[in-house]
Amino acid sequence: MTSRVVSAFAAEEERRVLSLKPVLAPVHGRYGDHPHQVYDAWPADEPGAPLVILLHGGYWRYDRMHLTPFAAWLSRQGFDVLLPGFRRSGGAGGYPETFDDVARIVDTLPEGRPHVLAGHCSGGHLALWCAARALLPSGSRWHTRTLPTGVLALAPITDLTATRRDDLSNGAALQLLGGAELFDQRLPEVDPLTLLRDAGTTGVPTVLLHGAADEEVPLTQFSDYAAVHRDLRTVVLPGTGHYTLIEPEAPGARAVAETLREMSAAAAARPGRPDEEAARR
C-alpha cells in the first residue's frame, strides 16, 4: 500500500493476507442512503453472543473486502460481527464524510447492545477517535456521550501529524483532511493523540494491540499514544507483523480473539456503560 522499503518477512505477510479470497456475508444491511453506507453481518451460532463492530483499514481509501475473511473467522470464534463500509478518501469521503459515517455507525448499528469497537490500522484510528468523541467541544458535529462499550485498536494509526510527516501511504493523512491548507485546522477534531493529550483518558476501556515486528505503522505511533493514555492496556506480540493480526488462524488473530473475549466479558460484568460514566463526569 505504500512506497516504503520493507523486509521480505513483511512483504510476504502483506501479500499473503491481502490476497485472501473475500468471504461473502450471510446478512447485509444499510445504515444510510449512500451506496457506501452499508454493512455485512456474520451472526454467531449461539444466541446472545458478544457483539464486535469491525472498522477496516486501508489508509481511509480502500474498501472492506480484505477484512471479510477475518470477520467470518471471528464469527466462528463465537462473536456476532458487523463489518460496515463508509465513504472513503479519494472518492465520496474524507473529511467530514468519513467521520460522519463512522459516528453514525457507532451511534446506530449496535442498537443499544454492549459491543467492542475494533479497528485495524486506519480503522484503529477511527475506533480510537470514536472513543474520544466525548472530549470534543460540545458544538462539534461529532460530540457525543454515547460511546462504545470498549475499543480494541489493532496496529492503529494514532497520530495524524506523524502520519503526514512520515508520508505513510503516499500522503494518506493529507488526503483524509483535504490537503495541506486545511490539515492544521481540521486536525484537532479528528486526531486521537491531540484529543487525548489534555484529558489523559477517554473513559472507554481501551486496548492497543500490535506486533513488535510491524513495519507498516511506525512503532512510535503506539508508544506515543500509550504515553498520554493513562489507563490504556497495551498488548505487544513478539515476532508479529502488521497483517497477521487479521489473518484467520494466525497466532496474531488468535490473540485478537482472546482479547475480544476478555473485553466482552469485562463489559458484561460492569454495572454501568461508558456513556453513563461520561455523563456523570
Please state, rounded to an integer, the average pLDDT across all residues of the chain: 94
Band (pLDDT 50/70/90 cuts) for residue 71 is: very high
* pLDDT score of 54 more than 70: yes
Q: Tell whether the model's pLDDT for residue 212 goes beyond 70.
A: yes
Looking at the chain, the whole-number percentage of residues with pLDDT higher than 70 is 95
Q: What cell was used for 101? A: 459515517
Rounded to an integer, the average pLDDT of 22-34 is 98
Omega of the bond leading into 96 within 30 degrees of 0 (cis): yes
pTM, two decimals, is: 0.95
- Indicate if the pLDDT at residue 94 is higher than 50: yes
Secondary structure element (H or E) that encloses residue 40, with its range: strand 38-42
Contact present, 86 and 98 (Cβ < 8 Å)? yes
Question: b/e per residue, 103-127, with b = 16+ CB within 10 A?
Answer: bbbbeebbeeebbbbbbbbbbbbbb
Mean pLDDT confidence for 29-35: 98
- C-alpha 55, offset from chain centre: 5
Whether the predicted pLDDT of 275 surpasses 50: no
pLDDT single digits (tens) 221-257: 999 999 999 999 999 999 999 999 999 999 999 999 9
pLDDT band at residue 16 using 50, 70 and 90 as cut-offs: very high
* pLDDT > 60? residue 19: yes
Closest of 54, 56, 25 to residue 42, by C-alpha: 25
Using the predicted structure, report yes or no on whether residue 278 has a pLDDT greater than 60: no
Per-residue pLDDT at 277 = 42
Say what the pLDDT of residue 270 is: 82
Question: What average pLDDT does this structure show over 123-130?
Answer: 98
Residue 279: per-residue pLDDT? 39
Average pLDDT over residues 137-152: 96
Q: What is the pLDDT of residues 156-187, one digit of tens each?
A: 999 999 999 999 999 999 999 999 999 999 99
CATH of 8-280, one of 1.10.8.640, 1.10.1040.10, 2.60.120.10, 3.40.50.1820: 3.40.50.1820
- Please give the pLDDT value at position 4: 66
- What is the pLDDT, as a whole number, of residue 272? 59
